[in-house]
Amino acid sequence: FSNWQIVTRSKDTGKMLNDNRKLGIALTGLGVAFTFFGIMLFFDRGLLTVGNVLFIAGVVLILGLERSQSLFMQPERRRGSGLFAAGLFLVLYGWCFVGFVVEVFGIANLFGDFVPHVLNLVSLTARNLPYVGVYIQIILAHPVVQQLKEKLQGVTHHGKV
């Protein structure tokens, strides 16, 4: 076996992770970090651009080329893909704040269906944290948070996002 064919088993999830997916997770995390620092430095064009490129490369490595192409080119997701690309070009052009807002709207259109799954995973993980898990359970049990969660799940199940 060569290095890129070796597959390891993750102890937490029980799913198989190959080296491309591990690298994709790292690149996506770096992309989010560069984007965060670009925002903190008053929408620095260079950091936002590097963050966008790393984020896109990470998503492609996580999903694979065919699956990411089918994800971004689905008819119901073309608007989100177009908005993200338009925001990327606006950032490159120098309109960083406007481009970032357009990108965020595009990402919300692209990955809005995954929000309930991510919230569920975060809530399950956060409840098991020592010391703060009890407080997170109290916050998650609040009626306003429950209504918001139900509203998000209802909107995504009906396909409106």
DSSP-derived letter for residue 16 is: E
Q: In this predicted model, what pLDDT tens digit does every residue of 83-126 receive, in sequence order?
A: 999 999 999 999 999 999 999 999 888 888 877 777 777 777 77
Q: In this predicted model, what pLDDT tens digit does every residue of 39-97 receive, in sequence order?
A: 999 999 999 999 999 999 999 998 899 999 998 899 989 999 999 999 999 999 999 99
Residues 6+ apart with CB under 8 A from 29: 58
Please answer whether residues 109 and 96 qualify as being in contact, where contact means their C-beta atoms are separated by less than 8 angstroms. no
pTM of the model: 0.68
